């Protein structure tokens, strides 16, 4: 196949290419966050802060369980991007089909395992006793649909890997709208409680997944999920694992670290747990421009390295860093001025609101640094150097963040935990910047190792 594709990131002015790819990606990622916070807003307003805390606790546990497939998905996306940049389109299909088969099987296994051990998990992380019944009820239904989540996201990640950020945005828009409407129907009108929120999420993942599969099978020029095309290529899957396993380890360790941090937060009670969960969701949605740059830079880097255009990689990084500074300043200003109004969308409890504001004000002061860290990490991942990204993430989390949180929380209470999160991000950025300048990542390009 020699046809030039509209999703080719190896041609055109760097800043225009990155922004054109990043804009739909930004909307898509923002929709993901809106999808995640819909349950929290409606649950918080209609079912109370205890139910809201249960949803927050469930999110961290669920993130840990699916971290393995998130990492493999990241590795596959990088492999596909470099293959696409090198115009190896038949290999792109085989890499996709191998990944899709793997995700479907693992998703089913995770669904069964999570349902069996749900209650034990929440007890293990010191979840407040009054929260556990709601957390277990929500989590069992939520994780029961894991196979829908992972197969849906496998399609989205591969489409982004070949430079198509528009259609994933459309599929996510459908999912988000469905989730909001079903939340209102199940919780407000049918009075199904917290279980209704979980059911809404499952259905809102399943329907757009079917739409995405239909698009792949009927419209896409390269990808297919038809039976005749769904072959498992062990050699290509090993490549995906080589890149993806470090990211999987990183994601699992980060998720485990978040759960360990959650254990420290839980010791301060339901109000702090609720504020932490809500504050994190607000932070995630308001910083989407910053975080989206990392994903855009990863795809841009991978395709251009596949095409042998290292000069474009350097130019693309410079553009992304400038965008990061502007967006980080805007994000911090928004949080500084309107953090209380943001918290009020979730809860009317004054203590929870104050704790959430404290979290946002501390974390917001480090948006520029955290964004720069993610941008440099995007280049390293695009080159296939996921091992270093794994190491630095684990180092900043387990060697600094957790011990600092334990120490500072003894003197500064909840604020000590928030400062530990911010300071660990600073260390991660400094080390990543030095490593990038040393240039070892240039030896990790996947296609150089064929």
Distance CA 87, CA 197 (A): 43
Q: Which residue has the tokens 């049918």?
A: 190
Tokens, residue 51: 């139910």
pLDDT value of residue 207: 94
Q: Which residue has the tokens 């998720």?
A: 255
Q: Angle 67-85/234-266 helices, nearest 10 degrees? A: 140
pLDDT value of residue 2: 40
Q: For the chain, percent helix, then strand, then coil, each to nearest 5?
A: 85, 0, 15
pLDDT value of residue 41: 80
Alpha-carbon distances, residue 277 vs 191, 331, 403, 413 (angstroms): 24, 19, 21, 17
Q: Which residue has the tokens 């199940």?
A: 186
**3-state SS class at 91:** helix
Block means of pLDDT (10 residues each) for the chain, 450 residues, are: 54 79 78 72 82 79 74 76 79 85 87 88 81 89 87 84 83 90 91 90 91 88 81 82 76 76 82 85 79 81 81 88 88 90 87 91 90 90 82 85 89 89 90 90 61
Alpha-carbon distances, residue 202 vs 46, 141, 320, 378 (angstroms): 20, 8, 35, 30
Tokens, residue 277: 């969960």
Distance CA 165, CA 149 (A): 18
Query: Residue 123: how many CB atoms within 10 A of its CB?
Result: 12
Q: Which residue has the tokens 């998130």?
A: 70
The total number of residues shown for the chain amounts to 450
pTM (two decimals): 0.68
Query: Which of 108, 182, 180 is closest to 145 using CA atoms?
Result: 108
C-alpha angle with apex 211: 209 to 213, nearest 5 degrees? 70
Query: Which of 206, 240, 213, 187 is closest to 46 using CA atoms?
Result: 187
CA 103 to chain CA centroid, nearest Å: 16
pLDDT value of residue 7: 63
Q: Which residue has the tokens 């997944």?
A: 209
């Amino acid at each position: 196949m020699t046809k030039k594709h509209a999703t080719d990131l190896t041609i055109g002015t760097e800043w225009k290419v990155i922004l054109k790819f990043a804009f739909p990606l930004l909307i898509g990622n923002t929709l993901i966050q809106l999808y995640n916070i819909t349950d929290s807003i409606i649950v918080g307003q209609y079912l109370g802060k205890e139910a809201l805390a249960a949803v927050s606790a469930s999110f961290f546990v669920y993130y840990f369980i699916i971290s393995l497939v998130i990492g493999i998905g990241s590795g596959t996306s990088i492999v596909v991007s470099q293959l696409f940049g090198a115009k190896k389109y038949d290999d792109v299909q085989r890499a996709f089909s191998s990944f899709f088969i793997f995700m479907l099987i693992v998703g089913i296994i995770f669904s069964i395992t999570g349902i069996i051990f749900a209650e034990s998990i929440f007890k293990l992380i010191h979840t407040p006793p009054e929260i556990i019944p709601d957390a277990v009820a929500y989590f069992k239904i939520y994780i029961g649909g894991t196979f829908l989540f992972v197969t849906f996201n496998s399609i989205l990640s591969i489409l982004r890997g070949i430079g198509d950020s528009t259609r994933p945005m459309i599929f996510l828009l459908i999912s988000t709208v469905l989730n909001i409407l079903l939340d209102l129907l199940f919780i407000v009108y049918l009075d199904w409680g917290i279980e209704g929120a979980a059911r809404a999420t499952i259905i809102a993942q399943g329907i757009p997944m079917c739409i995405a599969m239909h698009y792949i099978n009927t419209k896409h020029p390269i990808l297919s999920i038809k039976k005749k095309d769904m072959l498992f290529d062990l050699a290509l899957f090993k490549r995906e694992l080589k890149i993806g396993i470090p990211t999987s380890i990183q994601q699992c360790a980060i998720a485990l670290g978040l759960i360990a941090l959650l254990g420290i937060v839980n010791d301060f009670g339901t109000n702090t747990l609720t504020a932490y969960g809500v504050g994190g969701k607000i932070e995630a949605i308001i910083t989407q421009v910053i975080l989206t740059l990392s994903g855009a830079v990863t795809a841009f880097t991978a395709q251009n390295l596949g095409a042998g255009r290292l000069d474009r990689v350097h130019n693309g990084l410079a553009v992304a860093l400038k965008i990061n500074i502007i967006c980080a300043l805007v994000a911090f200003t928004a949080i500084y001025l309107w953090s209380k109004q943001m918290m009020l969308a979730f809860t009317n409890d004054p203590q929870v609101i104050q704790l959430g504001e404290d979290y946002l004000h501390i974390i917001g002061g480090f948006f520029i640094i955290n964004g720069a860290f993610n941008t440099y990490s995007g280049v390293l991942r695009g080159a296939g150097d996921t091992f270093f990204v794994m190491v630095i993430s684990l180092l900043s989390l387990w060697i600094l963040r957790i011990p600092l949180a334990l120490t500072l929380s003894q003197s500064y209470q909840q604020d000590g935990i928030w400062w530990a999160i911010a300071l660990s991000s600073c260390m991660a950025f400094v080390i990543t910047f030095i490593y990038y300048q040393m240039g070892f990542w240039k030896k990790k390009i996947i296609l150089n190792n064929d």
